[in-house]
Amino acid sequence: MSVNETFDGYYADTAYTPDQRRNWEEENPEREKIFGSRLSWDRKTQDTGPKEMYDPSHIEMAEVEEEKRQTSGVEGEAIFKQLKARYDHQAMMPPNYKTTAVVFYMATAFGKGFSYISAIGFVFFLLIYLLYLPTKGFDFKDYLEVVEGFFFLLSPIFLASVFFWKVGDFLEKKRPDIFLGLRKGPVWKADRQTGNLTLYNPKKAWKKRVEAPFYEFDAYLQSSPDTQGSATYTLILHHPKTGVSQKMKSFFPSTKMQGELIAGWHFLQRYMDVSQPLPDVPGLEIHRHKDPTTAKADKRRRRNPRFWRDKTEGEIKKIQEDKYRKNIRLR
C-alpha cells in the first residue's frame, strides 16, 4: 500500500520516496553532469541537518509566522506572498533577497562598528595624551588645540557612521521590506505534498524555470577560493533533463565546512520523503501534527509534542553544537 493510499490522498501520487530515486538512476545512468562533486542519495533518509536548522530562535520565528498566517487565513502560495517566505509541513520556500539587502546590512553593521570604534578611540586618545603631557611639561592651551584637532578629524567619521547605523536600524524596524530587500516571488520551492521541486526566475516574480519531481535532480558541492585562497563550498541542485541549476544558498548558505552542506542535503531529502517523518528540528515542531506520516510516527514513539519548546535555550544550543561537531566530519 502506498503512502498516498494510507493517508487518504493527503499526498500526491508523485510525493517523494527513496524508491523513486533508485528507479530513476537505473533508467538514467548517462545523465548530464556539471562541475563539482556529485552527492549520493540516501537509501533511507536521515533525520539530521546543518547547525542553523537547530537554532533556538527558529521556535519563536515559526510561532510568529504561524500566528500571522492564522490571523489572515491565507493558504498555499498566498502564504509566501504575505510572509515572503515559507517553512512548514507542506513546503519550504526561502526568502528571495535583492542585492540591496546586502548593501543595507553591511552599511548598518559597519556604521555601528565604526561609531563605537571612533568614540572609544577618541576617549582612549584623551587618556593617553593626558598621561604623556607631564613628561613634556603641561601646557593646557596646547592640550586643547591637539584635542580640538583630533575631534575635527574624527567627527566626520563618527557622524557618518552613526547616520548609517541609525538609518539602517530605522529601516529594519519600520520598513523591513526595504531593509531586507525581499522580492515578490520565490527563488525555489520544495513541496513535500506533491514531491516536486520548482525553480523560479529570481528576478521575475513567480516565473518558473523548471518544475519537476524532486528525484530528478542531482546534488553537487562546488568549491571556489575566497580572498585568502581557502575553499568555500556551495550546494547546487541540477536538473539534467533541462540543464537548469540552482544554488541553494538562500536556505543552506555557502560555507568552508562541506560537512554542513552535506547535512543540509540529508535534511532536504528527509523533508521531502513522505515515507518518513519531518526532520525533528525546532522550526518545524509546531507543524508536526499536521503532517500525517509525522503525526503517526510521533504517536507511535510517544514523542513529546513540545520537545523543543520545553527546553531551555542552553539545552538546545548544546544539541546544536553536538550536531555541528558530527556534521563537520561528513564527507
pLDDT at res. 300: 97
- Domain for residue 266, yes or no? yes
Do 172 and 78 lie in one domain? The reply is no
| Strand ranges for the chain from DSSP E | 37-38, 86-87, 91-93, 188-191, 196-200, 208-213, 218-225, 231-239, 244-247
Do 315 and 199 fall within a single domain?
Answer: yes
In degrees, rounded to 5, the angle at the alpha carbon of residue 107 between the alpha carbons of residues 105 and 108 is: 65
CA distances from 27 to 22, 24, 54 (A): 9, 5, 37
Whether residue 264 lies inside any domain: the answer is: yes
Q: Among 163, 179, 195, where does a domain finish?
A: 179
Question: What is the pLDDT averaged over residues 64-87?
Answer: 92
Is residue 227 one of the residues assigned to a domain?
Answer: no
> Which pLDDT does position 12 carry in this prediction?
95
Q: How confident is the model at residue 155 (pLDDT cuts 50, 70, 90)?
A: confident
Q: What is the pLDDT of residues 210-227, one digit of tens each?
A: 999 999 999 999 999 877
Asked if 205 and 220 touch (Cβ cutoff 8 Å), the reply is: no
The total number of structural domains in the chain stands at 2
Render pLDDT for 78-101 as a digit per residue (tens, 0 to 9): 999 888 899 999 999 998 876 665
pLDDT tens figures, 289-306: 999 999 999 999 999 999
Q: Which of 127, 161, 179 is where one domain is finished?
A: 179
Q: Are residues 114 and 26 in the same domain?
A: no
Is 251 within the bounds of a domain? no
Q: Are residues 76 and 172 in the same domain?
A: no
Same domain for 278 and 162, yes or no, is no
CA dist., res. 17 & res. 180, Å (int): 36
**Residue 246 maps to a domain:** no
Amino acid at position 33, single letter: K
Domain limits for position 88? 3-31+44-95+185-208+260-327
CB 219 within 8 A of CB 38: yes
The predicted structure's pLDDT at residue 172: 63
Enumerate the β-bridge partners of residue 196. Answer: 213
Looking at the structure, tell me whether residues 60 and 140 fall in a common domain: no
In a shared domain, residues 199 and 286: yes
- Look at 155-169, 259-273, 302-316 and tell me which has the smallest mean pLDDT: 155-169
> Cell for 279?
526532520
- 197 and 274 in a single domain? The answer is yes
Give a yes or no: residue 236 inside a domain. no
Q: Does the pTM of the predicted model rise above 0.95? A: no
Task: Quickly state the pLDDT bin for 153 (edges 50, 70, 90).
Answer: confident
Residue-averaged pLDDT of the chain: 87
Looking at the structure, do residues 75 and 126 belong to the same domain, yes or no? Answer: no
Q: Give percent of the chain with pLDDT exceeding 70.
A: 85
**Is the domain of 105 the same as that of 17?**
no
Name the grid cell of 269: 531529502
57 and 120 in a single domain? The answer is no
- Give pLDDT tens digits for 41-65: 999 999 999 999 999 999 999 999 9
Say if 231 falls within a structural domain.
no
Domain-embedded: residue 239? no
Specify the residue for cell string 548598518. Answer: 108
Do 68 and 8 belong together in one domain? yes
Give me the pLDDT at residue 295, please: 97
Q: Which of 125-129, 138-142, 181-185, 310-314 has the lowest mean pLDDT?
A: 138-142
Residue 111 has pLDDT above 80, yes or no: no
| Mean pLDDT, range 8-24, rounded to an integer | 94
Per the listing, cell 520548482 goes with: 198
Among 132, 158, 179, the domain-final residue is: 179
For residue 88, the 8-state DSSP code is S
Q: What is the pLDDT of residue 2?
A: 58
